[in-house]
Amino acid sequence: MKTTVKLFAWLSLCTMLIACNQANHSNEKTTVTTQEKEAKFLRTKPSTSLAVGCQSDVFDVAKGAQINYETGAKVIVPENAFVDEDGNPVTGEVKLEFTELNDAASIIASGIPMCIEIDGKTEYMESGGMFEINAKQQGKKLKLASGKHIEVQTMNNKPGDFNFYTFNAEEGKWVEQNKSSLNAVSQPNTTSTTTASDVVSTTTTKPVPVPAKPRKASSDDEVFEIRVTNMADYGMHAWDNVMWTFADQTSNSEENDWLYASRWDDITITNYDMRKAIYNVKAERRVRKDGSTTPITRNTPSEDIKTIYKTVAVTPVLFGQDYDDAVKNYNKALKKYEAYQEKKENEKKSQEAQAAFVRTVSIQGLGVHNWDRILKQRETLVLNAEYSVPTLYEDKDIPVVYMITGDQREVITFYQSSAGNLAFNPTYPNTLLAILPNNEVAFLKTGEISPTKLRNAKRTKEIEIGLKPSGVFVNSTEDLSKFIANNS
């Protein structure tokens, strides 16, 4: 029996989304050519698990601060720069939160729309460096005091001139700022702003391996003992009394008895799936080519010996206190691994920044700011699209679809509820994607749209877009970044 699965978790959001080219759709399909209201672009995060990491710094508000980031960004806060929500000056320590949004994955995860209404028409934005900056004291949001400016320097590899915008979250729209009044300057980076002490080099640091995630044994597990020689490479050197079970529980039969019923010269881990805690192990044994059972010694000629290899997926399991101790070690190792990965990413960004443009601006308010210009592509086709994931989401309950274009550097935001919610150049390599409620990515490359369907769309200005489930689940912004790199 065919079942239609509706995205109930998003239905409430759909009522809130007044997106690009605000329009009301009737039950019958109609081509909307005019706008009845001014467009709003409400910030809508596609998933709570896609968090964009911000950098936090605490300082005395009376002294102000200059904060240099590993990416080459810099923030200069003057003395006594903040007031509370009622406009009262604050004293003591404040926490400044600064987030750079410089790639497709972080922009999508942030939920910030990349479109703007100009003269009643929806245009799409090309970012030359977006950032979000906020301040808090004891968890309460602060505002920038009247007459105070915060200088923000960012670095981006996109050359050329960009306008400067501030996102008005309450009204749901981008507001262009007067660059001269904000001392906004964009220029090539002729000298590096980072020093050896600013950047933590990972090229000379011993790599931190992905930590092994312990699993508690259940009463249903068929467990066995094997000796794996390279467990230390996966952070299991401190685990006591490790037992193993086959990752595929349906395979716990005679077909895999060979692993623990035979004597092997060596068993090693060859691959690890961190999310599922599944290991591929390779067992190897040297035998005589003639099939005899005569023991192999040092004096046995190498031409008389062959090596047998077999592999299987297994999962380590632990019992009682051994499991509790392993979890503590895992949590410590995971923090070290995440810190190492962050340093690697920051070093990469810092290296890229050496050839970047430096963009400096004195902002007059907190929130989201963006160096932007209108994205221009020749032969852009503007259509009214109905998005769905066939066999899964037939009711077209996908509120937001993203398009990756421009060599994975641009993100365009399309809203299901809006008119003209698909704009692309058919000759460009574009990838449409949506993040489903279970964090699975569904996508479609525009080059896969049939020529016949495209011709009809050019005539009718309407098109149905069926996104394909990818089988890839993104549980972090890093996961999403990898998916974009591999599929667009």
Alpha helices in 73-134 (DSSP H): 104-110
Structural contact between residues 125 and 375, judged by C-beta atoms closer than 8 angstroms: yes
Q: How many folded domains does the chain comprise?
A: 3
Q: Which residues contact 139 (CB under 8 A, 6 or more apart)?
A: none
Tokens of 181: 């009044």
- The model's pLDDT over 267-313, given as tens digits with 9 standing for 90+, comes to 998 887 776 778 888 999 888 888 887 888 888 888 888 888 888 88
485 in any annotated domain: yes
- Of 331, 291, 287, nearest to 305 by C-alpha is 287
**Domain limits for position 142:** 47-192+354-376
CA distance 330 to 325: 9
122 and 238 in one domain? no
The pLDDT of residue 355: 54
Highest mean pLDDT among 152-156, 200-204, 387-391: 152-156
475 and 401 in one domain? yes
CA distance 160 to 352: 17
146 and 82 in one domain? yes
CA distance 61 to 91: 6
Residue environment code for 329-362, b if the CB has 16+ CB neighbours within 10 A, otherwise e? bbeebeeebeebeebbbbbebbeebeebbbbbbb
CA distance 186 to 359: 4
343 in any annotated domain: no
The pLDDT of residue 10: 33
The pLDDT of residue 138: 93
275 and 358 in one domain? no
79 in any annotated domain: yes
269 and 301 in one domain? yes
DSSP structure string for 449-480: S-HHHHHHHHHHSEEEEEPEEEEEE--SHHHH
26 and 66 in one domain? no
Displacement of CA 339 from its chain's centroid (Å): 17
- Of 104, 438, 475, 108, nearest to 274 by C-alpha is 475
234 or 146, which is more confident: 146
Which of 302, 334, 366 is a domain's end point?
334
- Of 430, 372, 431, 434, nearest to 108 by C-alpha is 434
pLDDT surpassing 80 at residue 388: yes
102 in any annotated domain: yes
CA distance 446 to 432: 7
The pLDDT of residue 300: 86
The pLDDT of residue 305: 87
Handedness of CA 333, 339, 345, 350 (dihedral sign): negative
183 and 74 in one domain? yes
Tokens of 85: 């929500």
382 and 461 in one domain? yes
348 in any annotated domain: no
How far CA 155 is from CA of 98, 141, 151, 368, 392, in Å, comes to 14, 27, 14, 16, 42
pLDDT band for 195, please (50, 70, 90 cuts): very low
383 and 428 in one domain? yes
406 and 369 in one domain? no
73 in any annotated domain: yes
Do the bridges between strand 462-466 and strand 381-388 make them parallel or antiparallel, or are there none, so unpaired?
parallel
> To the nearest whole percent, how much of the chain has pLDDT over 70?
83
484 or 419, which is more confident: 484
Q: Which residues contact 64 (CB under 8 A, 6 or more apart)?
A: 76, 77, 78, 79, 80, 81
- The model's pLDDT over 81-126, given as tens digits with 9 standing for 90+, comes to 999 999 999 999 999 999 999 889 999 999 999 888 888 778 888 8
**Average pLDDT value over all residues in the chain:** 82
pLDDT surpassing 70 at residue 30: no
Kindly report the CATH number assigned to the domain that includes residue 107.
2.60.220.30
pLDDT band for 444, please (50, 70, 90 cuts): very high
Rounded average pLDDT over 59-88: 94
Q: Which residues contact 57 (CB under 8 A, 6 or more apart)?
A: 65, 67, 95, 96, 98
218 in any annotated domain: no
pLDDT band for 396, please (50, 70, 90 cuts): low
180 in any annotated domain: yes
182 and 54 in one domain? yes
276 and 299 in one domain? yes
